[in-house]
Chain A
Amino acid sequence: MSDHNMNNHHEDHGHHKETFISKYIFSMDHKMISRQFLITGIIMGTLGMLMSMIFRLQLAYPDMKFSFLEGILGHWGKDGKLDPNFYLALITIHGTIMVFFVLTAGLSGTFSNLLIPLQVGARDMASPFMNMLSYWFFFLSSVVLVFSLFVDGGPASAGWTVYPPLSALPKAIPGSGTGMTLWLVSMILFIASSLLGGINYIATILNMRTLGMKMTRLPLTIWAFLVTAVLGLLSFPVLLGGSLLLVFDRSFGTSFYLSEIVAEFAGGIERTGGSPILFQHLFWFLGHPEVYIILLPALGITSEVIATNSRKPIFGYRAMIGSILAIGVLSFIVWGHHMFLTGMNPFLGSVFMLGTLIIAVPSAVKTFNYLATLWQGNLQLTPAMMFAIGLVSFFISGGLTGIYLGNAALDINLHDTYFVVAHFHLVMGSAAIFGMMSGIYHWFPKMFGRMMNETAGQIHFWLTLISAYCVFFPMHFMGLAGVPRRYYANTAYDQFNVFIDMNQFITIAALLGGLAQVIFLVNFFYSALKGRKATQNPWNSNTLEWTAPVEHLHGNWPGEIPHVYRWAYDYSKPGHNEDFIPQNVPDKGQVDPLEEATGLPEPVKNENSATH
């Protein structure tokens, strides 16, 4: 057994030279790939946010002219007025960027890559090469999407859900041409990236855990990443199939998504026999699991951050695992709640409704477990902790409106209004962004070996929290009054004109919220280069990543990979001097899992570490 946990590669570590390219560009080290994902995600996020500001300006001041628009948008902002077609393009690309590029790749890609090997105790991912490919497919996909902003006719404009016929007929609107084609190319590259990543994550978690790391000792982050990867693997292929058919409809004259009705509107095309509803089914079979692909990693991060900073074991560890699994399974059978108004059989509608409302149960289990963990905890209000608590707040306020929208009857009124925009921005947008921020503040020392500035973090948190609520909360009222989403201006309708003040308030809040992100960006990049040097375990946390040295080693641990003796949440355990016991510390007399595995029980050699 002496060859167990071999690491003789460290002895010949000096034999090869890492060039700049192999270290920073085509790196196969999961820690570098994680940072690549993060920084690409931050850049895309900034872009998506700037877009939202431009169209927010339009919604608040539909009659004003902003001469700078012509400067940045060219002919799309002629005379300082946003072109209506470009408005559609902007919300489409904003939604696509935020959902896929920031909160799927940027969030899951960053933290799965960073934490899976470190927290399960592996030297790297199962296949570092596929991991690298996964990043570069994502990078290419981002480049294609950004490039599509500059093509003739503008980028895709059919909404982030790219429903046909706008997406299927290249001549439907300006954005249906080259822009839409590039959107599809970008999405196919993205799916490839996500599959390469997901296969790796699952194989690493299942097969490469260190000794003693039973599934029931895994930190909840890892459970969340595992289920997320499974969801991605099972739902993205369906979008791939759907997109394939869309490509054929666009370019090869088939009519999978084109029906008699569409043909009539399109004037003179005789392409019938398909159905746009088919695309909606295929899209939402991905689309609904996708919102959990976004949310689950954020929830996993929150579990970890809240337990650590409450200095308490997470409340209901097994219930948390159970609820992650339940959410994962249920998320595949509720996609129809996006399609209540497509003429669906009312009985089928009530089946989808039941499934949707049942998801509230595991979600509530998670929420109450967070609250119970916080309850009477010894709260360390670091920025990471603040953002995690912020996530819980958004999860509640946004989740509750989900129960309204899940009702087939109520949805007749609420569908495609600003109520929906409010709902998903709170529960998916804000909650997941807060989870991502929480993760960044918490694991920054692990990623960059330096600390972020706390005060700036606190200011960033409060400004973001307030502005997010100011932006998205009033939208509920507009939605209840029937204001439709995706409209360039509502001035043509008298009954919506009353919202002009509210729209201005929202826009000002959004601009201030955007400004607050500058604090974050400065803090992030300044700290990455010049921040205070981090200690190995700055938050006194239990998980394995904090047993690895601050400076990044290829292979993560200089010596043997630590063995695991306990779950990740032994905080404030009575009878110990410290209020935390890392996972690699044995109790008195606890047997080394190595001996357990080989069936030769022997007491542990260094018993004194038990009273650490």
Chain B
Amino acid sequence: MANTTNLSTDKKTSWGGGKSPFSVSYGKLMMWIFLLSDAFTFSSLLIAYGFIRYSFPSPMENTIVKPLSHVAEHFTEAMNKAGLFVQDHWPAPELVFNHFPFIHGIHLPLFFVSLMTFILIFSSVTMVLAVEAGHRMQKKEVANYMLLTIIGGAAFLGCQAWEWTTFIGEGAKLYGNPFGPRSFAALFFIVTGFHGFHVFSGVVLNIIIYINVLNGTYEKRGHYEMVEKVGLYWHFVDLVWVFVFTFFYLI
């Protein structure tokens, strides 16, 4: 490392081209480029999802079960009996994901995943506040908002773990799915898993940055650009979730 330290820390000066294009630093530019490329990875998975989903007939009409109506203790069995899931029809997500922790026997379509979505989007808001506080060089505020963001991310991961456990508990596997075509479960695990992996990396990055903030690294450096960079990543992960949520749960 020693022989390049000067080079790599003097980035600002080795850029000599008058005005930096888009007025961004090379580091932020790299983050943008990476996110663009990562967006294509997610797109490929979502396109695979669409390709497979639309090779099946769409979900059966659901008029029998109303939100909040009480159903049997063993919800899945009731569903199967009601003939709502057919092997060669794509399952209706609102019938599959209708559980809520500690509440049993009530049909709560997509309530839990909406809560998860809310938590994640809220953590984006706290991230914006952290970045904004960084511009004002308010170390304390940055740290607090970063902490909130980390808590939000961790909470999301916890919720996802619960969602997965419930789904698996009902018999879903990578290669099997009691609610219809096996690919439904496989795609669900891979796409939400890949997204969850991104959230997890984001939380780890946020923790590193949080520790640096507490140590005053950025205060000494005179700017909180690192916070902005992880912020970009964090917003991207949230944005991807919006798509995952739309495609997997809503339509």
Contact = CB atoms under 8 A, between A and B. Distances in A.
Interface string B162-174: 0000000000001
Contact of A203 (B4, B29, B186): B29
B37 A195 contact: yes
Most chain A beta carbons < 10 A, residue from B4, B24, B26, B174: B4
Contacts of B34: 195, 199
Interface in B1-36: 1-4, 6-8, 10-11, 13-22, 24-26, 29-30, 33-34, 36
B30 A127 contact: yes
Given A5-B13, A209-B17, A237-B37, A254 B186 contact: yes
A128 interface: yes
Contacts of A513: none
B13 A238 contact: no
Interface stretch (A245-253, A390-398, A450-458, A461-469): A245-253
Given A124-B7, A275-B51, A200 B30 contact: yes
A200 B20 CA distance: 16
B43 interface: yes
A467 B237 CA distance: 53
B16 A278 contact: no
Given A237-B41, A240-B41, A6 B8 contact: no
B165 to A, nearest CB: 18
B29 to A, nearest CB: 5
Contacts of A199: 30, 33-34, 37
Interface residues of B, number: 50
Given A128-B8, A245-B190, A282 B44 contact: yes
B183 interface: yes
Given A213-B17, A233-B37, A242 B44 contact: yes
Q: Which range holds the interface residue count of chain A?
A: 35 or more
B26 A238 contact: no
Contacts of A3: 13
B55 interface: yes
A273 B183 contact: yes
Interface of B: 1-4, 6-8, 10-11, 13-22, 24-26, 29-30, 33-34, 36-38, 40-45, 47-48, 51-52, 55-56, 174-175, 181-183, 186-187, 190, 194
Given A203-B33, A241-B40, 16 more contacts: A123-B7, A198-B33, A204-B26, A208-B17, A209-B17, A237-B37, A240-B41, A241-B42, A241-B48, A252-B174, A253-B174, A254-B183, A254-B186, A255-B183, A271-B175, A273-B55
17 contacts: A16-B3, A18-B3, A22-B2, A22-B3, A28-B1, A124-B7, A128-B4, A202-B29, A207-B17, A207-B24, A211-B16, A211-B17, A241-B40, A241-B48, A255-B182, A281-B47, A554-B4
